[in-house]
Structure 1
Amino acid sequence: MAVKLLRVREGAGERDSGPVAPEKVLAGMPQQLTEHFFTNAKENFFCGIWSSDAGKWTLTYSEDEFCYIIEGEAVITDAEGVSERVSAGDAFCIPAGFEGTWETIGTVKKFYAIYEE
């Protein structure tokens, strides 16, 4: 059986939307939309497009995530209080074990690829 290339096209994935979990929210009432494109056979690698509107919430990562900001901007702050602003065109990784906050300024959209042991 031949393995085929899987194209990632916005509007072609499985969509899921709703609020950020209320127990994590620190500011605003952020809503998020995930468009999921791929899960591997081991179910430990995923990719898609995620977006949210304004708000701030806590993060605790058990997975490694690659992110590419497609539009908008956000501020990511680690547990020690060090903040980084990310905006359209920025690519970065959030390693497993990261704890801190995510704050969406206005709206943001990112491409994500997640790997979890």
Structure 2
Amino acid sequence: MSQTPPATTTVVKTIRFDPASAADPSMPTTTREWYADPTGCFKSGFWASAPGRAEIRYDKDELCVILEGVVRLTDGAGDSQTYRAGDTFVIPRGFTGIWETIEPTRKFYAIHRNGGN
């Protein structure tokens, strides 16, 4: 008996920016959760943002795949890295710094959080 789950197909639709749902009106973002496990420890989905800047403090590990746009992450020591469409990177739990969306950006994310939610 196979333990491999069956493959599924999902149609990815355009994510529209909805400024009304933004936490910071200067940086409108939209998130569409694609999957969440029953424990809340693992989530994945699509995220889109208009240009802007936000201070971030990570209590989770996040895999990011930039599908479109340009972002820059700057850590607490002032070291920065720029990511563009096609780049994949991980933001580790405990990271503190600045997330800058330089151009309108879309990403696929996968988040792991100990203990869920």
**Are the equivalent residues in 1 in contact too, given 2:54–2:98 (CA < 8 A)?**
yes
Partner residue, 2:57:
60
Describe the shift of the 1:12–1:38 C-alpha distance in structure 2 as closer, same or farther (beyond 3 A).
farther
Unaligned runs of 5+ in 2: none
Aligned residues: 109
Of the candidates 61, 83, 86, which is equivalent to residue 83 of structure 2?
86
Residue type of the partner of 2:13? G
Contact 2:70 2:101 in 1 (8 A): yes
- In 1, Cα distance between the equivalents of 2:14 and 2:30? 14
Higher CA-based Rg: 2
- Report how far residue 10 of structure 1 moved: 1.7
Equivalent residue for 1:25?
Answer: none
Conservation of the 8 A alpha-carbon contact between 1:53 and 1:108: yes
TM-score normalised per structure 2: 0.83
| Alpha-carbon spacing, 1:47–1:6, altered in 2? closer, same or farther (3 Å) | farther
Matched, 1:39 2:36: yes
Residues 8 and 37 of structure 1 are in contact (CA less than 8 Å); yes or no, is this contact kept in structure 2?
no
Q: Rate the CA distance shift 1:114–1:6 in 2: closer, same or farther, 3 A.
A: farther
Whole-Å Cα distance in 2 between the matches of residues 95 and 87 of structure 1?
19
Aligned equivalent of 1:29, options 26, 29, 39: 26
Aligned with 1:41: secondary structure?
A: coil
**What is the deviation of 1:5?**
3.3
SS at match of 2:100: strand
Q: Whole-Å Cα distance in 1 between the matches of residues 43 and 26 of structure 2?
A: 26
Identity of aligned residues (%): 34
Q: Which residue of 2 aligns with 1:75?
A: 72
Q: Match of 1:78, as an amino acid?
A: D
In 1, Cα distance between the equivalents of 2:80 and 2:14?
34
User: 5+ unaligned residues in a row in structure 1: which ranges?
Assistant: 23-27
Q: Measured at CA, do residues 73 and 16 of structure 1 come closer, stay the same or move farther in structure 2, by a change above 3 Å?
A: closer
Give the alignment's Cα RMSD to 1 decimal: 2.4
1: CA distance between counterparts of 2:47 and 2:68? 11
